[in-house]
């Protein structure tokens, strides 16, 4: 099927990146959020990130202008109704996502494909609450979307082949690489990545190392481009905790128990870069460990 128009729900760090790559690849994008400020920030961020690509010679000024002209925003969810493809990229909470799909259903087209950018939540369960589980998939982009090459494609138990093929073709049009994952908690990337981040938080909690020594050890000792605590701040500690809870509940194995220190940081509102404080404090010139 021919996908030309894309509705994006949630204009946070993932939503703006998804809007960026779709608009640059020639899709018409309509972005929705409950917050007008989030929408304005997202458009400003796309503009800034595209400008950086122009200054590096990766995008022409004409392509940037055309991409920006393809992005529209709305706080009214029902305006996404005519879209060929809808990508839900709102907060990682199942009730939030379910409510979004429920509110969308009366307004979408018979051919509309519904997807979620969830990092961990069951695609089969989200799909079962809609009128089209066969046209529903997990569409998991990586952060930052314009930079990261991979997109995980997750079929729910009822997803049909034309839907999978249509999304695979979209990934190719974006110039990215698709990896297929089965519908298990947190799929492939976060099933492996998040327990490592959680273990890094336990390492801090138990006093095995400081924030700096844990991150430096993994950067210099395991050749990771970012330390695990720095990466947790980048992802968002609320998102990390939500994913660990899905792993813990979904796989019923104590090895996925979220570290109490991660829970405490989220309770403090220290969610990482997006709130200026997480394992690092970003309010000064250079990030310093918060504690």
235 binds ligand NAD (CB under 6 A): yes
Active-site pick, 20, 32, 83, 152: 152
Near ligand NAD by CB under 6 A: residue from 29, 31, 38, 259: 38
Active-site pick, 119, 120, 122, 198: 119
Range 111-139 burial, b when 16+ CB lie within 10 A, else e: ebbbbbbbbbbbbbebbeebebbebbbbb
Residue 45 or residue 251: which is nearer to ligand NAD going by CB? Answer: 45
150 binds ligand NAD (CB under 6 A): no
Residue 10 or residue 287: which is nearer to ligand NAD going by CB? Answer: 10
258 binds ligand NAD (CB under 6 A): no
Does the active-site annotation cover 190? yes
Of 6-14, 177-185, 191-199, 200-208: span binding ligand NAD (CB under 6 A): 6-14
Near ligand NAD by CB under 6 A: residue from 25, 34, 150, 179: 34
100 binds ligand NAD (CB under 6 A): yes
Of 8-16, 155-163, 174-182, 212-220: span binding ligand NAD (CB under 6 A): 8-16
90 binds ligand NAD (CB under 6 A): yes
Does the active-site annotation cover 119? yes
Active-site pick, 16, 190, 198, 230: 190
- Contacting positions for ligand NAD (CB under 6 A): 9-15, 32-35, 38, 89-92, 96, 100, 117-119, 140-143, 235-236, 239, 274
By annotation, the residues acting in catalysis are: 119, 140, 152, 190
């Amino acid at each position: 099927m021919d996908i030309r128009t894309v509705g994006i729900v949630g204009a946070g760090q993932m939503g703006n990146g998804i809007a960026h790559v779709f608009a640059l690849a020639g899709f018409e994008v309509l972005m929705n959020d409950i917050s007008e400020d989030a929408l304005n920030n997202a458009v400003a961020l796309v503009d800034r990130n595209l400008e950086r690509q122009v200054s590096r010679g990766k995008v022409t000024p004409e392509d940037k202008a055309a991409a920006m002209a393809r992005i529209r925003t709305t706080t009214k969810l029902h305006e996404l109704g005519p879209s060929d493809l809808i990508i839900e990229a709102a907060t990682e909470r199942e009730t939030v996502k379910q409510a979004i799909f429920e509110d969308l259903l009366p307004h979408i087209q018979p051919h509309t494909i519904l997807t979620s950018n969830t990092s961990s939540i069951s695609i089969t369960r989200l799909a079962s609450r809609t009128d089209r589980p066969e046209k529903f998939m997990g569409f998991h982009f990586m952060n930052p979307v314009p930079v990261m090459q991979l997109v995980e494609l997750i079929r729910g138990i009822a997803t049909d082949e034309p839907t999978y093929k249509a999304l695979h073709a979209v990934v190719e049009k974006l110039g990215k690489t698709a990896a297929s994952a089965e519908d298990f908690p947190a799929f492939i990337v976060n099933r492996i990545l998040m327990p490592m981040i959680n273990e890094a938080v336990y390492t801090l909690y138990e006093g095995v190392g400081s924030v700096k020594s844990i991150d430096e050890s993994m950067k210099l000792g395991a050749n990771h481009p970012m330390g695990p605590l720095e990466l947790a701040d980048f992802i968002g500690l609320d998102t990390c905790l939500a994913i660990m809870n899905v792993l813990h509940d979904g796989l019923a194995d104590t090895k996925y128990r979220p570290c109490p220190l991660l829970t405490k940081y989220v309770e403090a509102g220290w969610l990482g870069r997006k709130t200026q404080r997480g394992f690092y404090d970003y309010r000064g010139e250079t990030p310093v460990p918060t504690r």
